């Protein structure tokens, strides 16, 4: 795999994985209902 | 009107149901095909830019419209849009929010039923020892298009379709928390598990191993090799923006519907972001790491570029799995078609719910009766797609309901939200109860950038030039030779470009054009029937004393 393809792939994967995990963990930790 | 009290059972259930709505067959079949057809790495940058500038903002808009409508007791698009502006016409824009779900569900459930059938055939070893051509023919036999006849009557496909539709209706009739939410909580983790299994197997496939002729990583290299010159190509941008649209299930009315069951003060900003990014995770990380690497590993890059498409999932993958031996072939078939089935059913449930909610809200049907009405209507429309599959009925449904109507509705809703309801009120609506702080510049993105993006997609789809060659088309126009329209453009479709003969009957036999036009009349009739139901519903409401 070429370096440029590898860098692009890892960059995109990292961003997507970071936000997916970050937001999902926040969903798990934060109660939905607000009174 | 009385406010319905049905709610989601848990926050995780809501996010998984929303993510399940977005994650569909397209994540694993359409995304790789679009990426390959648009130059591999050339596609990814416009795709990610479109996700940030159009996808995420539209998710927030749709969640906000939904929760706002739910406050007034509306759980489907007509009522939601009616309470956003003073014009009596807005509710009719909401026709799209029912029409699209119903008509897409009609052909989507058929597609979903193929995956169930293929799980079965993978487990009983139907593909064992079959050549690529035989597996491809298996599909044509399955949908009964072998002899090219006008009328298709696929017995087995009908059976699996009825099972699939029945399952959808049953889950929908159980309600939000006991039906849809449980299906999402089971389906999504299993889907991700199956996808991880196949992605790891695909990415570790090396030339000479299990009959592979190439390293699968070559496919990944093609997908991710950046080509920055493509950033100036409108065709790639249109394809990328279009993919974002379909993958997030935008412009359907299903997100609005699910969000309508969220309480007025509960978060939507984080939930929308979480569901949207989860979809991207499944599409880019997993969807991009299965079909293309495996197909390139066995068939080579040139073959994949020349043959990529939806059919690859059903006609090619079972053959390739045969290289892994009987046990692993069955396991891979179960994982592949199983994940497609879970991706499909979590989406089709989201298509059924707005239709059910419409009848519950406006005609006071109970959930079971609404689910049955949805099932019967869907069945009638589906049978048309099934019986005339070979003559293009299925493809017409996909084009007008699954492509055109989505963009049209999203364009209308983004204008209603930002310009009629007002961006200040809209921004407040999105941020009420928010568990994340949305950067302020998204307010301007929602007001200006997203509508412009949508107008560009809409206009681009109307006049897309032959083979997507925009530069050549402008040169042709400036040199006085006119605009070379592509047969796949909206104008091209309407006027049957690409067909030499547009007669309905030849020697007394119906032609493909006849079925295409009859399908369009059926779709238009369905659209008008929904508009008529909305008119009746509002007349009833006006007659009820306050």
Chain A contacts of B278, Cβ < 8 Å? 20, 23-24
Contact in structure between B32 and B287 (CB atoms under 8 Å): yes
Query: Residue B30 has which token pair?
Result: 């359409």
Using CB atoms within 10 A of its CB, is residue B491 exposed (0-12), middle (13-18) or buried (19+)? middle
A vs B, Cβ pairs < 8 A, gives 86
* Count helices and strands in chain A by DSSP H and E runs: 1, 0
H or E segment at B496?
none
Using CB atoms within 10 A of its CB, is residue B121 exposed (0-12), middle (13-18) or buried (19+)? buried
pLDDT in tens, chain B (546 residues): 444 579 999 999 999 999 999 999 999 999 988 888 887 887 888 999 999 999 999 999 999 999 999 999 999 999 999 999 889 999 999 999 999 999 999 999 999 999 999 999 999 999 998 888 898 899 999 998 888 788 888 999 999 999 999 999 999 999 999 999 999 999 999 999 999 999 999 999 999 888 889 999 999 998 888 888 777 888 888 889 989 988 999 999 999 999 999 999 999 999 999 999 999 999 999 999 999 999 999 999 888 888 888 778 898 899 999 999 999 999 999 999 999 999 999 999 999 999 999 999 999 999 999 999 999 999 999 999 999 999 999 999 999 999 899 999 999 999 999 999 999 999 999 999 999 999 999 999 999 999 998 999 899 999 999 988 999 999 999 999 999 999 999 999 999 999 999 999 999 999 999 999 999 999 999 999 999 999 999 999 888 765
Closest CA to B5 of B269, B257, B262: B262
Q: Cβ atoms within 10 A of the Cβ of A31, count?
A: 10
The strand pairing partners of B506, in sequence order, are B509
Decide if A23 and B48 are in contact by the 8 Å CB cutoff: no
B465 three-class SS: strand
The nearest alpha carbon in chain A to B215 belongs to: A1
CA distance A10 to chain B (A): 9
CA separation for the pair B535, B370 (Å, rounded): 19
Kindly report the pTM of this predicted structure: 0.94
CA separation for the pair B537, B297 (Å, rounded): 56
The nearest alpha carbon in chain B to A3 belongs to: B225
CA separation for the pair B72, A23 (Å, rounded): 29
CA distance B487 to chain A (A): 34
CA distance A4 to chain B (A): 6
Lowest mean pLDDT among A10-19, A25-34, B240-249: A25-34
Q: What are phi and psi of B485, to 5 degrees?
A: -75, 145
Decide if A30 and B263 are in contact by the 8 Å CB cutoff: no
Chain B contacts of A35, Cβ < 8 Å? 265
């Amino acid at each position: 795999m070429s370096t440029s393809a590898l860098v692009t792939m890892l960059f995109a994967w990292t961003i997507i994985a970071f936000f997916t995990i970050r937001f999902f963990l926040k969903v798990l930790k934060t109660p939905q209902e607000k009174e | 009107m009385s406010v319905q009290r049905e709610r989601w059972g848990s926050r995780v259930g809501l996010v998984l149901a929303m993510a399940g709505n977005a994650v569909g067959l397209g994540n694993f079949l359409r995304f790789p095909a679009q990426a390959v057809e648009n130059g591999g790495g050339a596609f990814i940058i416009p795709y990610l830019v479109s996700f940030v500038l159009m996808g995420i903002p539209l998710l927030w808009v749709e969640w906000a419209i939904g929760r706002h409508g739910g406050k007034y007791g509306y759980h489907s698009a007509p009522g939601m849009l009616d309470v956003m502006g003073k014009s009596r016409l807005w509710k009719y824009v909401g026709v799209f929010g029912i029409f699209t779900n119903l008509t897409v569900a009609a052909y989507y459930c058929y597609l979903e039923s193929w995956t169930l059938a293929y799980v079965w055939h993978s487990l009983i070893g139907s593909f064992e020892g079959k050549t690529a051509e035989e597996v491809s023919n298996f599909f044509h036999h399955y949908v009964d298009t072998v002899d090219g006849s006008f009328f298709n009557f696929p017995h087995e496909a009908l059976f699996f379709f009825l099972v699939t539709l029945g399952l959808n209706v049953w889950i929908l009739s159980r309600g939000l928390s006991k039906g849809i939410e449980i299906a999402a909580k089971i389906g999504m983790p299993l889907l991700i598990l199956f996808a991880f299994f196949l992605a790891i197997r695909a990415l570790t496939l090396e030339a000479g191993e299990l009959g592979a002729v190439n390293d699968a990583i070559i496919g990944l290299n093609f997908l991710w090799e950046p080509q920055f010159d493509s950033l100036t190509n409108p065709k790639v941008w249109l394809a990328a923006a279009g993919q974002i649209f379909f993958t997030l299930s935008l412009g359907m009315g299903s997100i609005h519907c699910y969000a309508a069951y969220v309480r007025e003060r509960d978060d939507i900003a984080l939930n929308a972001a979480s569901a949207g990014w989860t979809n991207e995770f499944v599409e880019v990380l997993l969807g991009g790491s299965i079909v293309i690497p495996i197909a390139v590993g066995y068939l080579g890059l040139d073959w994949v570029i020349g043959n990529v498409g939806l059919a690859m999932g059903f006609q090619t993958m079972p053959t390739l799995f045969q290289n892994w031996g009987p046990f692993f072939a069955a396991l891979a078939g179960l994982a592949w078609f199983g994940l497609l089935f879970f991706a499909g059913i979590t989406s089709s449930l989201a298509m059924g719910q707005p239709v059910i909610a419409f009848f519950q809200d406006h005609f006071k049907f109970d959930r079971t009766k609404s689910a049955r009405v949805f099932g019967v209507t869907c069945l009638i429309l589906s049978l048309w797609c099934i019986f005339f599959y070979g003559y293009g009925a299925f493809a017409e449904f996909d084009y007008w309901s699954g492509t055109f109507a989505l963009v049209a509705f999203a364009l209308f809703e983004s204008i209603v939200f930002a310009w009629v309801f007002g961006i200040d009120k809209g921004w407040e609506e999105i941020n009420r109860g928010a568990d994340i702080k949305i950067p302020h510049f998204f307010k301007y993105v929602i007001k200006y950038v997203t509508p412009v993006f949508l107008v560009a997609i809409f206009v681009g789809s109307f006049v897309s030039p032959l083979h997507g060659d925009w530069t050549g088309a402008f040169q042709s126009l400036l040199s006085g030779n006119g605009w070379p329209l592509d047969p796949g453009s909206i104008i091209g479709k309407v006027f049957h470009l690409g067909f030499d003969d547009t007669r309905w009957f030849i020697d007394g036999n119906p032609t493909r054009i006849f079925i295409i036009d009859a399908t369009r009349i059926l779709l238009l009739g369905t659209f008008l029937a929904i508009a008529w139901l909305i008119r009746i519903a509002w007349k009833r409401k006006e007659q009820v004393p306050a």
